[in-house]
């Protein structure tokens, strides 16, 4: 059986540091630390749980879960991200689609996705030389109804089952969730950050209480963290893949000028060798 040897979550934007230089530096240092720890786990693949920002999957068709199956990805190039190609891992992506079905989860496949900043910024930081293949796993947060938190928790458990029961014994997998924390986009509260909710999310995760987050409703998250805060569903899926694991908050900064709360966590998987 394969092993999940690392699990992390991080916000996935970087914007102008003007006027918030110290905060921006702490955020970037935190992202780099997550990258350092991720690479130290020596993974054979990164499963990156994310959300598209209407650059690949438009409002005319949104499905709950999509796995990008290509062997090579070229970033979309939004937010100034270089269009530097990076490797995918078709065999793993197809295995996840196949075995998630046994959990009652129908995952759509995308052959031609061009990952936007939700994938490309984290990849550029944690996998700068492109040495580790990446499988993007998309969760719809763009169109109602979004998946229920309990459903994305089940998605994480299906991912873990795929790794542990259906992948080669020596395969090492890292799960990286991106997005969040609280932010409102194109809404009246744009620019607000709900620091109390952000810290509650971080606290639940590092205490090994991701199941408490899975007990929320999407409406709860929308009300307290905004439409952009629905990206916390990605974090809940990661927690489902390592249910019960505790962790550490690597960074947190509320940054209204970036329209969001910025945070990152690293889960403790017992010193996976």
Confirm whether 259 is domain-assigned: yes
* pLDDT over threshold 90, residue 217: yes
Question: Which single residue is written with the structure tokens 């952000």?
Answer: 198
Confirm whether 186 is domain-assigned: yes
Question: What pTM was estimated for this model as a whole?
Answer: 0.96
Confirm whether 212 is domain-assigned: yes
**Residue 46: CB partners within 8 Å, gap ≥ 6?**
38, 123, 126, 127, 132, 133, 134, 135, 173, 174, 175, 176
CA 230 to each of CA 12, 141, 171, 215: distance values in angstroms, whole numbers, following the listed order: 13, 6, 31, 14
pLDDT at 92: 98
Strands 134-139, 65-68: pairing kind: antiparallel
The Cα 51–Cα 129 span in angstroms is: 23
* pLDDT over threshold 80, residue 258: yes
246: which 2 tokens?
């505790």
Confirm whether 110 is domain-assigned: yes
The Cα 100–Cα 235 span in angstroms is: 18
User: For residue 130, is it left (φ>0), alpha (ψ between -120 and 50) or beta?
Assistant: left
The Cα 236–Cα 250 span in angstroms is: 17
Confirm whether 273 is domain-assigned: no
The Cα 247–Cα 203 span in angstroms is: 9
pLDDT digits (tens, 9 = 90+) for 96-149: 999 999 999 999 999 989 999 999 999 999 999 999 999 999 999 998 899 999
Please tell me whether residue 136 adopts helix, strand or coil conformation: strand
Confirm whether 221 is domain-assigned: yes
Confirm whether 272 is domain-assigned: no
Give the CATH number of the domain where residue 138 resides: 3.40.830.10
CA 51 to each of CA 54, 163, 212, 246, 261: distance values in angstroms, whole numbers, following the listed order: 9, 22, 22, 24, 17
Confirm whether 241 is domain-assigned: yes
pLDDT digits (tens, 9 = 90+) for 134-144: 999 999 999 88
105: which 2 tokens?
């989860």
pLDDT tier at 80, thresholds 50, 70, 90: confident
Range of the domain at 217: 3-267
Structural domain total, the chain:
1
Contact 98, 159 (CB under 8 A): no
């Amino acid at each position: 059986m394969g092993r999940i040897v690392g699990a992390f979550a991080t916000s996935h934007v970087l914007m102008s540091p003007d006027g918030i230089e110290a905060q921006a530096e702490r955020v970037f240092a935190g992202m780099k630390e997550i990258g350092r720890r991720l690479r130290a786990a020596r993974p054979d693949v990164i499963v990156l749980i994310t959300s598209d920002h209407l650059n690949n999957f438009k409002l005319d068709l949104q499905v709950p879960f999509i796995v990008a199956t290509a062997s090579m990805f070229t970033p979309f190039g939004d937010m100034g991200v270089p269009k530097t190609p990076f490797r995918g891992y078709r065999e793993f992506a197809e295995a996840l689609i196949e075995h998630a079905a046994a959990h009652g989860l129908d995952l759509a496949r995308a052959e031609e996705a061009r990952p936007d900043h939700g994938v490309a910024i984290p990849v550029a930081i944690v996998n700068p030389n492109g040495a580790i293949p990446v499988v993007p796993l998309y969760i719809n947060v763009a169109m109602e109804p979004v998946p229920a938190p309990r459903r994305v928790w089940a998605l994480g458990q299906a991912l873990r089952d795929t790794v542990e029961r259906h992948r080669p014994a020596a395969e090492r997998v890292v799960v990286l969730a991106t997005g969040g924390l609280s932010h409102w986009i194109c809404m009246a509260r744009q620019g607000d950050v709900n620091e109390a909710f952000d810290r509650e999310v971080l606290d639940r995760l590092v205490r090994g209480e991701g199941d408490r987050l899975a007990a929320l409703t999407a409406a709860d998250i929308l009300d307290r963290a905004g439409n952009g805060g629905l990206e916390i569903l990605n974090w809940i899926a990661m927690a489902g893949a390592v249910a019960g694991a505790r962790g550490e908050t690597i960074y947190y900064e509320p940054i209204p000028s970036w329209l969001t709360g910025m945070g990152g966590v690293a889960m403790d998987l017992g010193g996976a060798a």
